[in-house]
Structure formats: structure tokens, C-alpha cells
């Protein structure tokens, strides 16, 4: 009986994705246990550690369809860990007692951690595909709206003009950094574990490191330089990475839902019949994806904190912190996949109202470009005098609703230095976009270069 949003038949595809659920399913996790046990038997037979005949029989039985999951549930509840239950079933299936060579020299945590790393490898591939798609969508928006002016906002107040392309490019730059982080963390994180009871491989004697190296090569993972049973920075790094990625998605969602406000109405989520409607207010068009992005990203950050808590482990095999990861690792990926999926859909059909952006720029009668006027007057009056003079005029404009240009032009101190046509140029928002365009171009050039290399 599903009980949480992540496995609910109703909510599961809102908070996460089927592809990510598949990665962290009981079936996939158990399949990886079996894959590791089979690979271990193969390499140990190749190195002469166990009989070749035993390896063949173990590999023959390491099939998911051979596992009785009801029995595995009971074994796990009794033992406390699923790996030993899997091994016991394999041993029982093997002919002529050959199953006794299964799991030779391994410990439960070796198999569990390595399976988790294999799941993380698959999950990071899904994350990378989403981040790449989101980057492409942001690049398209940055290019299309490179020169579309809108109000930049500070403390929720209009500040100075920017462009919508600038906003999109800033998010794109963050995604580029996330992709770089991902490429850097993979070699550190995608490292297997095979070290025995306390990490010394004592049970395999001189063959231990050879077995370890061969096993990791077989699985396509990096060989650890030393056991990491209770040194959990690899797992913590993945959690922090996902917190950073989804933090950027949360920033995207926050801006979009604020720009969807009736009083702003510059940007909207994609329209679909009935989406975001109210049960009592027919006029409503509520944000939907933004809300779920906000919720999932908040929980990802909490799970990242939990993974950092799991890093505080005791001695060489821990008493509890490790089990935190069993809950937090799947959920952090599941929630992140939900945020990524909503972000892709949001950006793929986002609606931009450039005319409303221009209207909002003009709603303060020119106050949004008061800094431009101050800087234009600075060389003539000095910066502080220019600031104080423009400040007083801005207060009059705010009170009267008269255009800033008219109030500036009739001031005798200002008119001695700047004509009304010069002031008109200073008070046109499209003339005070700074270097937004060249900055956008730099980010887009980086994206084009990355695409060419991939």
C-alpha cells in the first residue's frame, strides 16, 4: 500500500520520475547485488582464489528471477541487511555445495556500498541529461531575449533595467558550473568498495588488492586507495551537488512565480487546459511546476544535511549513521529528478510578455533609470551632489506622478549641463542596460563551445 508522495499512485509522477524510481527500486538494487557477487566470483576464479567450477555455478544462479523477494523481506527483517539474505538464497540454489564460495572475502557493506555507487552512476546519467536539456532551453531563451528590456529587481523593488536574456543567461551560467562539477565529482564518487570486515582485506591475504582491482575493473568503477566504510565524503559530495543543482532550480521557480503575479504578469508557466485553475475562482492561473520545484528542492537540501550527518561515523564500521544513507540517497535523487523534470517542462513552454515588461519599466515614470541620470550628471556636478539632487526630484516624481524627464528638464541646475534630448536618452530604459548583452554573449559562447566538444 503506497503511503508517501514518492510512491503514491496519484502523486509519484509529480514529485519524481519513473526513470529515477526504476534506478532505486528493490529490483535494481538487488540486481546490482547479484551483479557484484557474480563479478566477484569471476575475478576470484580468474586469479585462482576460488574454483572455476564454483564461479560458473555462482554466476549461473545470480539472476534476479531466482530471488524470492518475500523470503528476502523476511530475511532482511531478521538479519537487518538484505545482502546476506541474497547470498543465502544464492548458496541454497548452487549445486554440490559450490555456493559456499560465494561472497568470498567480502563483507555486507562492500556489496551494499558498491551497489549504491552503481545506482548513483545510473542516477547521475539521468541528472546530466536533464541539466543538459535545461541548459539548452536557457540558452535559447538567453539568445532570443538578449535585448528584451525588463525591470531588474532588488529587495522586490524595481532597481535598474536588465534584459530577460540576462536573467536566463545567469541561470545558464550556473548550469554550466553544475555540469563542470559533475564531471569533476564522477571520478571521486564512482569508486567501489571491497575491503572486508574492517577494511584491511585480511581474509584474502596477499590476493586482496588484486581481487579488489579486478572487481572494480569488471564493474567499471574506480579502485579505492583505501577502505571507506566509515569515510563517507563521496556520498556527501553527491548530496551537496544535488542541493546546489536544485537550489538553482528553486531560484528559477521563485523568479517565475513572482513574475506571474497579477500585478507583474511578465512571465507565465506553459498553458494547459485546466492547469493551475482554482476550484472557486475561475480567473485564476496559478503556478504549478514552480510550487513543486520549490517543495522538492527544499527537501533535497534537508536530505543533503542528512547525508552530512551520516558522515559522522564511529570507528571502522558504524552503528547507525550508515543507515541514514539508505533513506536519504534514494529520496534525494527522486526529489531532484522531480525538480529537474518540472524545470524542463516549465522552460520548454514558458510564456514571455515583452510588452508587459516594457510597460512595467515605465510604470514609475522614469524612476527606474534615476541611477543613469545621476551618473550622467556626476561629471558635471560631482557624484554626491548629483545623487542628492536626483534623489529630491525622484521624491517629487513619486508624489506627483509626473514624468521624471519633465522634472529633470525644468531644474535649472540640471538644464545648465544637459539638454532635454540628452536627458531623454538618459531616461530611456533600453539605453541603460550596461554590458548585459556582452555578458550574455560570453555565456552563450561557453555553451556553444561545450556543445561543439560534446
Report the 10 Å Cβ neighbour count for 260.
19
CA distance 156 to 134: 26
Query: Look-up: residue for cell 535523487?
Result: 333
For the structural domain made of 13-106+204-214, what CATH number should be given?
1.10.275.10
Q: Where are the domains of the chain?
A: 13-106+204-214, 115-149+161-193+228-263+272-344+437-454, 367-426
Catalytic annotation, pick one of 278, 400, 415, 448: 278
Q: Which residues of the chain have pLDDT under 50?
A: none
The yes-or-no answer to whether 115-149+161-193+228-263+272-344+437-454 and 367-426 have a common fold is no
Average pLDDT, the chain: 95
Active site residue 154: no
298 half-sphere exposure, CB direction, 13 A CA radius: 8
Q: Which of 404, 398, 341 is nearest to 370 (CA)?
A: 404
- pLDDT tens profile 277-324: 566 767 667 889 999 999 999 999 999 999 999 999 999 999 999 999
DSSP 64: G
Q: Which residues contact 235 (CB under 8 A, 6 or more apart)?
A: 116, 189, 307, 310, 311, 325, 329
CA distance 336 to 15: 9
Contact 173, 248 (CB under 8 A): no
Helix (H) or strand (E) holding 159: strand 157-163
Active site residue 278: yes
Domain covering 367-426, topology: Ribonucleotide Reductase Protein R1; domain 1 (1.10.40)
For the structural domain made of 115-149+161-193+228-263+272-344+437-454, what CATH number should be given?
1.20.200.10
Catalytic annotation, pick one of 317, 345, 356, 450: 317
Q: What is the pTM of this model?
A: 0.94
Report the 10 Å Cβ neighbour count for 257.
19
Query: pLDDT value at position 191?
Result: 98
Q: Which residues contact 295 (CB under 8 A, 6 or more apart)?
A: 15
Query: pLDDT value at position 282?
Result: 72
For the chain, the C-alpha Rg in angstroms (whole number) is: 30
Amino acid at each position: 500500500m503506497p503511503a508517501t508522495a514518492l510512491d503514491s499512485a496519484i502523486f509519484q509522477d509529480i514529485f519524481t520520475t519513473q526513470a529515477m524510481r526504476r534506478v532505486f527500486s528493490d529490483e535494481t538494487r538487488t540486481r546490482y547485488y547479484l551483479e557484484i557477487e557474480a563479478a566477484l566470483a569471476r575475478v576470484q576464479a580468474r586469479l585462482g582464489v576460488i574454483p572455476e567450477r564454483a564461479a560458473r555455478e555462482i554466476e549461473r544462479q545470480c539472476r534476479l528471477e531466482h530471488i524470492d523477494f518475500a523470503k528476502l523481506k523476511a530475511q532482511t527483517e531478521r538479519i537487518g541487511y538484505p545482502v546476506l539474505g541474497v547470498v543465502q538464497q544464492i548458496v541454497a540454489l548452487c549445486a554440490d555445495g559450490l555456493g559456499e564460495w560465494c561472497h568470498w572475502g567480502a563483507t555486507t557493506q562492500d556489496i551494499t556500498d558498491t551497489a549504491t555507487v552503481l545506482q548513483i552512476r545510473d542516477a547521475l546519467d539521468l541528472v546530466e541529461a536533464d541539466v543538459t536539456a535545461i541548459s539548452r532551453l536557457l540558452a535559447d531563451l538567453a539568445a532570443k531575449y538578449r535585448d528584451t528590456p525588463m525591470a531588474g529587481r532588488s529587495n522586490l523593488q524595481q532597481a535598474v533595467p536588465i534584459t530577460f536574456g540576462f536573467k536566463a543567461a545567469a541561470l545558464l551560467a550556473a548550469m554550466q558550473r553544475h555540469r563542470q562539477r559533475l564531471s569533476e565529482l564522477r571520478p571521486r564518487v564512482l569508486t567501489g568498495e571491497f575491503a572486508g570486515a574492517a577494511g584491511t582485506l585480511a581474509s584474502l591475504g596477499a590476493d586482496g588488492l588484486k581481487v579488489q582491482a579486478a572487481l572494480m575493473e569488471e564493474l567499471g568503477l574506480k579502485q579505492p586507495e583505501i577502505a571507506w566504510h566509515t569515510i563517507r565524503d563521496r556520498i556527501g559530495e553527491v548530496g551537496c551537488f544535488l542541493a546546489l543543482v536544485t537550489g538553482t532550480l528553486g531560484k528559477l521557480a521563485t523568479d517565475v512565480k513572482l513574475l506571474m503575479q497579477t500585478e507583474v504578469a511578465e512571465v507565465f508557466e506553459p498553458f494547459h487546459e485546466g492547469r493551475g485553475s482554482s476550484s472557486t475562482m475561475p480567473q485564476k492561473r496559478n503556478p504549478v511546476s514552480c510550487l513543486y520545484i520549490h517543495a522538492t528542492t527544499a527537501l533535497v537540501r534537508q536530505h543533503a544535511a542528512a547525508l552530512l550527518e551520516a558522515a559522522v561515523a564511529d570507528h571502522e564500521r558504524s552503528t547507525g549513521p550508515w543507515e541514514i544513507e539508505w533513506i536519504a540517497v534514494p529520496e534525494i535523487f527522486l526529489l531532484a529528478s522531480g525538480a529537474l523534470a518540472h524545470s524542463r517542462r516549465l522552460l520548454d513552454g514558458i510564456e514571455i510578455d515583452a510588452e508587459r515588461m516594457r510597460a512595467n519599466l515605465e510604470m514609475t515614470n522614469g524612476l527606474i533609470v534615476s541611477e543613469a541620470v545621476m551618473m550622467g550628471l556626476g561629471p558635471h556636478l560631482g557624484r554626491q551632489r548629483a545623487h542628492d539632487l536626483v534623489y529630491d526630484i525622484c521624491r517629487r516624481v513619486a508624489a506627483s506622478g509626473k514624468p521624471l524627464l519633465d522634472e529633470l528638464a525644468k531644474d535649472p541646475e540640471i538644464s545648465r549641463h544637459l539638454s532635454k534630448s540628452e536627458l531623454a536618452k538618459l531616461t530611456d530604459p533600453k539605453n541603460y542596460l550596461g554590458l548585459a548583452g556582452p555578458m550574455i554573449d560570453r555565456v552563450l559562447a561557453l555553451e556553444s563551445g561545450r556543445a561543439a566538444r560534446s
